[in-house]
Amino acid sequence: MIGVTVLGSTGSIGASTLDVLRRHRERYRLVAVTAHTDVKGMRTQCLEWRPEFAVMSDPDAAQRLRDELRPAAPDVEVLAGADGLSRVATLDEVQYVMAAIVGAAGLMPTLAAARAGKRVLLANKESLVMSGRLFMDAIRQNGAALLPIDSEHNALFQCMPGGYRAGLRPEGVRRILLTASGGPFRSTPLGELDQVTPEQACAHPNWVMGRKISVDSATMMNKGLEVIEAHWLFGAAPDQIEVVIHPQSVIHSLVQYADGSVLAQLGNPDMRTPIAHALAWPERVDAGVAPLDLFKVARLDFERPDLARFPCLRLAWEALRAGGAATAILNAANEAAVAAFLAREIPFTGIARIVGDTLAGVPLTAADTLDQVLAADAEARAFAAGLAQRWAA
């Protein structure tokens, strides 16, 4: 059986992963699960799955989980903190690691899994956004396999030439087309965006996601981060990556070839499809997803993104072209700004303004070492948080 660690098991990607694993218990063994502070969710998972390890990144939450599991599941070893996350990502009995921790917090355990030569199922796009070159070097140098979980990148992976491996420049590929739903504000009058609430921003029309990634979808920063991710995954220059708004979210992405062919991957908007693909690749297994009914879909629409409406997408392209630690600065500023918006400290439109001001205000450094990446992240995070505090005051 294949041993699996799920980093971020109580989030939406984690829950979908466990649903796929539940359908194939004869094939996979859940060795470890992790969460930040969701003790209730972790307790429920531990009682069902009886993994060897459960990790809470928050030490207080870890102690509460130990107390709750002691009478009911004493065989589950509870670990805490960053060291615990990296430990379960590198266990000898684990072959596959689902990297589903949201944000920069997922970088270290995901990088540890790459360095340990695991099959990394990458849902934590920040690992590539922050440290793309370092991460891809770790994959190559340690014989790890990288399977993208984002629906768009998984679709691109499926449309690449036969035998393709992540990180290589594919032969014959002219352009990558990332599809985007456009989020909940695709047609909202621009003058009304200042009044958008966190509840409205988190109400995605097609996908069920966590609050942070839902806001990123509403600003299209999520698509900007995916542009950066696609650059590293597929060896594509910034000008070879195009974003296409496709409101139905049926075509998950497309690859244009030099001979004029365009290959697309279609399916219902359900994250269990890319998860099942990455778990079983190069085979196919049941994901529990209903087949796509083209007659019910009836039509497919496409639009160019309006960069005046979605300035975060423009900022992501600018950071990618700038190189160095610019993308790490972008990501850190966005995380701080989104947190401030969710806390109702800044308006929705303030997210892009804070990200832009942080990119302009934090000195650009190299990103050749992990220390340089983490230093840039910390400086940008503090700078952006300061901007948000002044806004709130």
Cis amide bond preceding 71, omega within 30: no
Asked whether residue 316 carries a pLDDT value surpassing 70, the answer given is: yes
CATH 3.20.20.70 fits domain 2-148: no
Q: Which helix (H) or strand (E) holds 60?
A: helix 59-72
pLDDT in tens, 204-226: 666 666 788 889 999 999 999 99
Q: What pLDDT is attached to residue 299?
A: 94
Selection from 213, 189, 192, 204 nearest residue 342 by Cα: 213
- Helix and strand element counts for the chain (H, E): 16, 11
CATH of 323-393, one of 3.40.50.300, 1.10.1740.10, 3.30.1490.20, 2.60.40.10: 1.10.1740.10
Asked whether residue 236 carries a pLDDT value surpassing 70, the answer given is: yes
Helix, strand, coil abundance in the chain, percent, nearest 5: 50, 15, 35
Q: What pLDDT is attached to residue 125?
A: 85
Overall average pLDDT of the 360-386 stretch: 96
Q: What pLDDT is attached to residue 169?
A: 78
Overall average pLDDT of the 346-364 stretch: 97
Asked whether residue 355 carries a pLDDT value surpassing 90, the answer given is: yes
3-state secondary structure string, 88-148? HHCCCCCCEEEECCCCHHHHHHHHHHHHCCCEEEECCCHHHHHHHHHHHHHHHHCCCEEEE
pLDDT in tens, 248-267: 999 999 999 999 999 999 99
Token pair recorded at residue 336 = 């701080």
pLDDT in tens, 326-340: 999 999 999 999 999
pLDDT in tens, 129-150: 999 999 999 999 999 999 999 9
Specify which residues 178 forms β-bridges with. Answer: 243, 253
Asked whether residue 91 carries a pLDDT value surpassing 90, the answer given is: yes
Give CA–CA dist 181/222, Å, rounded: 11
Give CA–CA dist 302/248, Å, rounded: 9
pLDDT in tens, 106-119: 899 999 999 999 99
Q: What pLDDT is attached to residue 171?
A: 86
Token pair recorded at residue 365 = 């450094």
Q: Where are the domains of the chain?
A: 2-148, 160-270+304-318, 323-393
Q: What pLDDT is attached to residue 285?
A: 97
Radius of gyration of the chain (CA): 20
For the beta carbon of residue 103, count every other beta carbon within 10 angstroms: 20
Give CA–CA dist 219/312, Å, rounded: 6
Is 346 within 8 Å of 391 (Cβ atoms)?
Answer: yes
Overall average pLDDT of the 6-15 stretch: 96
Overall average pLDDT of the 228-234 stretch: 95
Is 313 within 8 Å of 307 (Cβ atoms)?
Answer: yes
Q: What pLDDT is attached to residue 207?
A: 60
Phi, psi of 291 (to 5 degrees): -60, 150
Specify which residues 99 forms β-bridges with. Answer: 7, 122
Confidence of residue 393 (pLDDT cuts 50, 70, 90): low
Asked whether residue 75 carries a pLDDT value surpassing 90, the answer given is: yes
Is 89 within 8 Å of 118 (Cβ atoms)?
Answer: yes
pTM of the model: 0.92
Phi, psi of 61 (to 5 degrees): -65, -35
Residue 196's identity, in one-letter code, is V
- Tokens 């303030």 belong to 350
Asked whether residue 318 carries a pLDDT value surpassing 80, the answer given is: yes
pLDDT over 70 percentage in the chain: 98
DSSP strand pairing (241-245 vs 145-148) = unpaired
Q: What pLDDT is attached to residue 204?
A: 66
DSSP 11: S
Least confident of 187-201, 251-265, 309-323: 187-201
Asked whether residue 5 carries a pLDDT value surpassing 80, the answer given is: yes
Asked whether residue 228 carries a pLDDT value surpassing 70, the answer given is: yes
